[in-house]
């Protein structure tokens, strides 16, 4: 079990890098006019956010990378986790760059994103399937340590888990401090579980994610001075997916990451419901916008989702003790 003191030092290092680089990087984004374009069909209160610098996820990725590498715990698990974070973050960066700099509103086409995401997911899954001690056996929550061996089906199942998780975190990034705050809470859960199960390098990376999210909230909490963009949301999705897969506890994501799950599910329900009935189930999806349109202030939605993540994280942790 990795020491609490070391985890705190890693988190503080990521926090420091994020806090220090933010004031240098955000004005540069503003000078380069890397501003967010807000949807006209969204909540009217969001129109004031037009022009807010985006692609700030680079700040978090820098904090995570520096803190993790300085920890002295570099091994293949840490390499794979960082590859997942940087790789998915790079896909998001390219998407942001096309939308913000090249002024092509759609960014990468859906199939282009999916090709990149599936390729990265396959790299991680084949590593885990062939190298990890647990192989194709995944932990089943609340079953007294029982592991289900999926055999060859582990590969397609886990690839889908990774891609779904990354895109779910991306959908969650729609309000000031929402994705960064929810992921901060979830990273504490993964840090605790990784430490408990003896995955030292995974615990280190998760502690770095916690510190980077905490530092980023200094600039991203309402009213946000910078948005993380797809660069940040996909990088955080890559971090969550990597932590779960490297410990073969991917079935815990719908519990610990229940907010991510709810955001994705609301979009699916909205699309399917509209196609079948011609009517919208929610005022707007993802579901955080629905709560805004029924009268909740943005900060209330974010606070409630943070608290829900905390409760879900505690519930998920009970599956391991």
Residues 164, 318, 85, 268, Cα dihedral to 10°: 20
Question: What residues does 139 pair with on adjacent strands?
Answer: 147
Q: What is the sign, positive or negative, of the torsion defined by CA atoms of 100, 97, 70, 201?
A: positive
Contact 125, 165 (CB under 8 A): no
Residues contacting residue 314 through CB under 8 Å, at least 6 positions apart = none
CA gap 263, 281 in Å, rounded? 14
- CA–CA dist 3, 174 (Å, integer): 35
Q: How far apart are CA 249 and CA 140, in angstroms?
A: 7
The helix/strand/coil state of 149 is strand
Q: Which residues are annotated as a binding site for Mg(2+)?
A: 170, 230
Under a CB-based contact definition with an 8 Å cutoff, are residues 191 and 54 in contact?
Answer: no
Residue 272's CB: how many other CB atoms inside 10 A?
Answer: 11
Cα gap 236→314, rounded to integer Å: 20
Determine contact, residues 278/186, Cβ cutoff 8 Å.
no
Rg of the chain in Å (alpha carbons): 19
Buried-exposed string 134-147: b where 16+ CB fall within 10 A, e elsewhere: bbbbbbebeeeeee
Q: Is the peptide bond before 154 cis (omega within 30 degrees of 0)?
A: no
Annotated binding-site ranges? 170, 230
């Amino acid at each position: 079990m990795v020491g609490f003191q070391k985890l705190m030092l890693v988190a503080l290092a990521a926090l420091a890098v994020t806090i220090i680089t933010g004031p240098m990087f955000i004005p540069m984004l503003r000078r380069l006019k890397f501003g967010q374009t807000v949807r006209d069909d969204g909540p009217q209160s969001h129109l004031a956010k037009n022009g807010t610098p985006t692609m700030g996820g680079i700040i978090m990725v820098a904090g995570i990378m520096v803190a993790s590498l300085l920890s002295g715990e570099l091994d293949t698990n840490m390499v794979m986790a960082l590859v997942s974070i940087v790789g998915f973050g790079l896909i998001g960066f390219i998407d942001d760059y096309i939308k913000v700099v090249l002024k092509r509103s759609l960014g990468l086409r859906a199939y282009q994103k999916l090709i990149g995401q599936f390729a990265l997911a396959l790299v991680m899954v084949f590593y885990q399937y062939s190298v990890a001690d647990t192989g194709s056996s995944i932990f089943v929550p609340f079953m007294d340590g029982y592991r289900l061996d999926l055999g060859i089906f582990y590969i397609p199942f886990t690839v889908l888990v990774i891609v779904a998780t990354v895109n779910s975190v991306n959908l969650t990034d729609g309000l000031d401090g929402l994705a960064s705050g929810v992921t901060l809470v979830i990273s504490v859960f993964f840090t605790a579980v990784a430490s408990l199960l003896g995955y030292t390098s995974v615990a280190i990376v998760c502690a770095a994610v916690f510190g980077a999210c905490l530092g980023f909230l200094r600039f991203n909490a309402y009213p946000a001075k910078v948005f993380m963009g797809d660069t940040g949301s996909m990088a955080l999705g890559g971090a969550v997916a990597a932590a779960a897969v490297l410990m073969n506890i991917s079935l815990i994501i719908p519990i610990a990451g229940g907010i991510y799950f709810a955001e994705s599910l609301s979009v699916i329900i909205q699309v399917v419901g509209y196609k079948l009935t011609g009517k919208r189930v929610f005022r707007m999806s993802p579901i955080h916008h629905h709560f805004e349109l029924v009268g909740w202030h943005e900060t209330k939605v974010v606070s409630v989702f943070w608290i829900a993540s905390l409760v879900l994280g505690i519930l998920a942790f009970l599956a391991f003790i």
